[in-house]
Every structure is written in structure tokens, then in C-alpha cells.
Amino acid sequence: MKKTLILTTALVSFGFAANAEVTVMSWGGAYGAAQTEGHVKPWSAATGNPAIMVDSDNPAPAIKAMVEAGNVTVDVASVEYADAIRLCDEGLLEPIDAAALPPGADGTPAAEDFFPGAVTECGVSTDIWSNVFAYDTTKFPEGPKTAADFFDLAKFPGKRGLKKGAKAVLEFALLADGVAPADVYTVLGTPEGVDRAFAKLDTIKADTVWWEAGAQAPQLLADGEVAMTTAYNGRIFAAAVGEGKPFQIVWDGQIYENESYVVPKGAPNKDLAMEFIKYATSTEGLRAQAAHISYGPPRKSANKEPIIYAGDGKTEMGPHLPTNPANLTNALLTSSDFWVDHDAELNERFQAWLAQ
């Protein structure tokens, strides 16, 4: 009853406009489904306002194109942390009043309840997710165990799946090559470090299948096109626990970061979009999303009690979250500052390398 009263009070205080529709753009697949079940549908049910989800391989470029064209059809978008900062710096997003975010369910003010860095000028974190790699246990019953094993074609033969882009791929290559997480961005910030990352990728380039959309990685594993692949951890969880696929995540070398809701500049329903974000990033909203996909809630209050997977009503999500202490050995927090500064040049280098 207490939680119901808190949520009801929050909804009344938000002051919703009747019959307006929020359009949310996210990444599709298991991730989009989790936000649909955790945020979009409950929002509609609780407020009477229709809301729809639209999918994108990457919402950030789509948002940038819409705003620059003056034809914005989306109210809320789910974007990577670095993109939230970059798009905000470019004036393409609406600022978000952090002081207006609701307190935690336990009464903790939002400023104290969110993890450090989870709230930025134009974005509010919805979850902490990670790039991991996973393998088919029917092919390798005893492993692999480390990031270095991903690049060991002799010990673990078979095709590899990698995301077609520089971000998280270059860091992963350096981690596998023995660079400590604390040193990765220092190394990658030098020409020699960039050369080192590409040299490591050269060792598996001929055996790599490239993926672009998040749903492709587990599908490559399921189809047997690759023996192991990098992937978003939630996609592998959905396939393994939700669908019973013989997939195993290797947490060594995971690269994790916040995902954020943002409001594009010129959103057709700006005020309502802000209220949707308050709802979705409340304690209850964050827990609701985490019950559908294995990404960690970025509020302390949302992590106080066990979260049970909605798919089977029994699996505790804790061990499957990137933020679980056991999963953080040799883990790297993505540097948004690094990628804001180096994204264009490193992706240009990456595309040139691919074409070689």
C-alpha cells in the first residue's frame, strides 16, 4: 500500500495533460521491450496518456537528423551516455531540471539517490549496461574465461562477432592485450595506443563477423555463424534465461556505462516528455525496467531489495547485473569525455581499417 500511495502522489504532482501521446525512441529487441513493459505501458495505464515505442539501431543519429531538419517526431529518446553529453553540447537536447526529479521511494532526495554521474544537464540514466562477450557452451564447455581468450583462435577456434564501430571495440582489444582498466584511456589517447588496439584486432579480423544492431549479436550465436561474440549483456541474458539458449557471458573485460533518456530540442510534447522521464526514472520505474532486462538501476533506492526477473518470476537479477561486485573484476567504466573528444577521428580510422 505504501508504494501505491507514493506512486499515486507522484502522478498527481506531475500534472499530466489529458490524451497527449509520448513517442519514445529506443533500441528495439530485448532492450526496447524492457522499456516498453517497464515504462511505456505503465505510463499509459497510470496516466491515461497514450505512449508508443519506436525502434532504432541507434537513436542518437536519428535525433540529430530530426532536430537539424526541424522535423522532430520523437518526444523521448534512449541514448548512450556520451551521446547525451555530445548532443547536449551541440544544443540538440532540452535541458532537464535535476531538482524536479522525484525522490527515491525511501524519501532520499534524487541528488543523493542517483549514482554519481547518472544525471547530466540533458539526460537522466535509466540503467547501467555493459558490453561483454558471450559464447556458445555447446562449442566450448570449459570456457573461455578472459578477454584474452576471445582473441585466441588456436585455443578457441571459430568465428568472432564484433560491433561495427570503434567505441568499446578498441577498449576491449586493449584490455585483452593486457592493459589495465585504469590505463586504457591513457593508452588509447596516444597514436601508439591506437596502433596497439588495431594490431590486436588484426589478429582476428579475417575471422570476424560484424554486427550493428544489438539484436544481431545473440542471433549470430544462435545461428552458429560465430562461436563467440561481443554483445550487450541484456541481450545475452534475454536469450539465455528468457529463451533457454546455451549462452554464457564472460564478465572479464566488460565495458559498462549509463544509458540515458533525453528530450530532443523541439519535441512535440516537451512538457509531457519531462513528466514521462520523471516517472520512468523513479525508484519504481527503474526497478520495473530491471525486472525485464539485466541492466542495473542507477538509483540506490532501486537496489535496496532483490529484483526478480519478470520472465519467470523466480530468477534474481543481482548476479546478472553489470554492477554486481563479482562481475566488476577487470571491468572498465566508459569515459564519455574521451569519446566526446575522439569519436569522429577514431571511427574514421576504424572505417579505413575495415576497408583495408
The kind and range of the H/E element at 262 are strand 247-262
Nearest Cα residue to 282 out of 70, 18, 42, 63: 42
pLDDT on residue 340: 84
pLDDT on residue 16: 43
* 181-218 pLDDT, tens digit each: 999 999 999 999 999 999 999 999 999 999 998 889 99
pLDDT at 7 over 80: no
CA dist 356 and 354 (Å) reads 6
pLDDT at 3 over 70: no
pLDDT at 18 over 60: no
Q: 131-256+326-355 has which fold?
A: D-Maltodextrin-Binding Protein; domain 2 (3.40.190)
Residue 240 is placed in which grid cell? 539465455
Query: What burial letters (b/e) apply to 148-167, b meaning 16+ CB within 10 Å?
Result: bbbbeeeebeebbbbbebbb
Q: Which residues pair with residue 242 across a beta bridge?
A: none
- List of residues 6+ apart from 336 with CB closer than 8 A: 81, 82, 85, 257
Tell me what the mean pLDDT of segment 217-232 comes to. 97
Q: pTM for this one?
A: 0.81
Phi, psi of 177 (to 5 degrees): -90, 5
| Mean pLDDT computed over every residue of the chain | 92
Tell me what the mean pLDDT of segment 4-25 comes to. 54
- 139, 227 Cβ separation under 8 angstroms: yes
* 319-346 pLDDT, tens digit each: 999 988 889 889 999 998 899 899 999 9
CA dist 343 and 347 (Å) reads 6
> HSE of 153 in the Cβ direction (CA atoms, 13 Å)?
14
CA dist 238 and 202 (Å) reads 31
- 147, 175 Cβ separation under 8 angstroms: yes
Residue 291 sits at the vertex; the CA angle it makes with 286 and 296, to the nearest 5 degrees, is 55
Beta pairing, strands 332-333 & 247-262: parallel
* 197-206 pLDDT, tens digit each: 999 999 999 9
- List of residues 6+ apart from 271 with CB closer than 8 A: 17
Q: Which residues pair with residue 79 across a beta bridge?
A: 260
Map residue 151 onto helix, strand or coil. coil
pLDDT at 127 over 60: yes
CA dist 22 and 6 (Å) reads 23
Whose cell is 573484476? That residue is 329
Local structure of residue 299 (DSSP, 8 states) = B
Architecture of domain 2-128+258-323: 3-Layer(aba) Sandwich (3.40)
- 261, 123 Cβ separation under 8 angstroms: yes
CA dist 220 and 228 (Å) reads 9
CA dist 303 and 345 (Å) reads 38
Residue that wins the pLDDT comparison between 289 and 2: 289
Cα dihedral 51/57/63/66 (nearest 10): -90
* CATH 3.40.190.10-classified regions of the chain: 2-128+258-323, 131-256+326-355
